[in-house]
Amino acid sequence: GESSASQLTTAVRKAEQRNECDVLIISRGGGSLEDLWSFNDEKLARAVYECELPIISAVGHEIDFTIADFVADVRAATPSAAAELAVPDANQLSNNLMSMMQRLTKTVTQLLSAEQRHIHTLQLRLPRPEQYLRQQTQSLSKQKRRLMLAWQRIWDRRQQHVDYLTIRLKHPQAQIDKQRTSVLGLSHRLNSAFLSQQKTRIQQFTFLHSRVHQQRPLPLINEQQRYINALSKQSQRLIELKVQNNKQLLSQHVRTLAAVSPLNTLDRGYSITSHKNMIITNAEQVKAGSELDIRLHQGHLVCEVKHSYEK
C-alpha cells in the first residue's frame, strides 16, 4: 500500500534500537513494479544503509532489483535464498563432516589391510619373520598415528571454518575490530619506517657536511671566481670591440647607400615621375589625359598629360 515504505522504515529503525536479533531480512515475494516500488523509497534506503545490524535484501524474483538491494549488506535472489544465507544448514555441515570421517576411516582400514597382507607375504619369505614383523608393526603404528593426526587436523580445520562462519554471521563487529587493529598496526609500522628513514637521511647529511667542511673548498672556489671574473672582463671588452666595428661598418654601408640612392639626384634638379604608383620611364606608358605624380627635391606635383612624344 501507500504507507508500506514508511512502515518498513519504522520497522528497520525499531529493530536497530531493540537490538534483539543478529541479522535482519527485508524481503517480499514477486510482484509488479508497482508492488515492489516501496523498496525504492529514499527514507527506507537510508534506514537500511545506516542500520548497524547486518541486513539481507531479498525483494521479488531473481531478475528484480530495487534500491534496497544495493544499500543492504547482502542481496539474495529470493526470500528463501535469504533464509539459507542467514541460517547455514547445520545438518548439511554435520553430514559433510561425517562423510569425510567415513572416507578417512575407510582409507585407514584399506591401508591397514594392505599392510597386513604385505606382512603376511614377508612372513612366508623371511627365515626370521618375528624381527621384521616388529619393525613393520612399528612402521605401521607410525603411519596410523600420522593418518589419525592428519584426520584430526582436517577435522579441526573444518570445525574452525564452521566457527569462523558462525562468528561472522553473529558478530560482524568483531571482524571490523580485527581489521581496525590490523590497520593500526600497519600505520605504526609505516610511521616507524618513516622515522628510521628520516634518521638515516639526517646521518647522511651530517656526514656529507662534515666531509665538505674538512676538505675546505673555499680557496678553490675563490680561485675559480677570479678566473670567471677575468673571463667576464675579457668577454666584455671583446663585445664592446665587436659592437664598435659593427657600428663603423654600418655607417659605411649607410654612406654607400646614400651615394647610390636615386633620391640624391633630386638635389641636382631631377624628378621622379609616376602614374598609379608605377615609375614612368617611357612616354608610351601614359596617354593624353593621364594624371601624373612628379616628385621633386622638395614636395611633388600632380600634372595632367596634354600630349606625349616618343622622342
**Do residues 28 and 79 lie in contact, with contact meaning Cβ atoms separated by under 8 Å?**
yes
Report pLDDT for 33: 65
**Which backbone phi and psi does 277 adopt, to 5 degrees?**
65, 20
Nearest to 296 by CA among 274, 258, 266: 266
Cell 578417512 belongs to residue: 104
Q: What's the rounded Cα separation, in Å, for the pair 48 and 44?
A: 6
Q: Give the pLDDT confidence score for residue 303 in this predicted structure.
A: 92
List the end-to-end C-alpha distance of the chain, in Å, as a whole number.
Answer: 117
pLDDT tens, per residue, the chain with 311 residues: 677 788 888 888 898 888 888 888 888 776 676 667 778 888 888 888 888 888 888 887 767 788 888 888 888 888 888 888 887 667 777 787 888 888 888 898 999 999 888 888 877 776 665 676 777 788 888 888 888 888 888 888 888 887 777 666 555 555 566 667 877 787 788 888 878 888 888 888 787 777 766 666 666 667 778 888 888 788 788 888 888 888 887 888 777 766 666 667 777 778 888 988 888 888 888 888 888 898 887 888 999 988 877 76
Are 30 and 60 within 8 A, CB to CB? yes
Is the dihedral angle over the CA atoms 100, 160, 172, 17 positive or is it negative? positive
d(CA 12, CA 14): 5
C-alpha–C-alpha distance, residues 74 and 59, integer Å: 12
**Alpha carbons within 13 A on the beta-carbon side of 223:** 5
Structure confidence at residue 215 (pLDDT): 64
Question: Do residues 16 and 52 lie in contact, with contact meaning Cβ atoms separated by under 8 Å?
Answer: yes
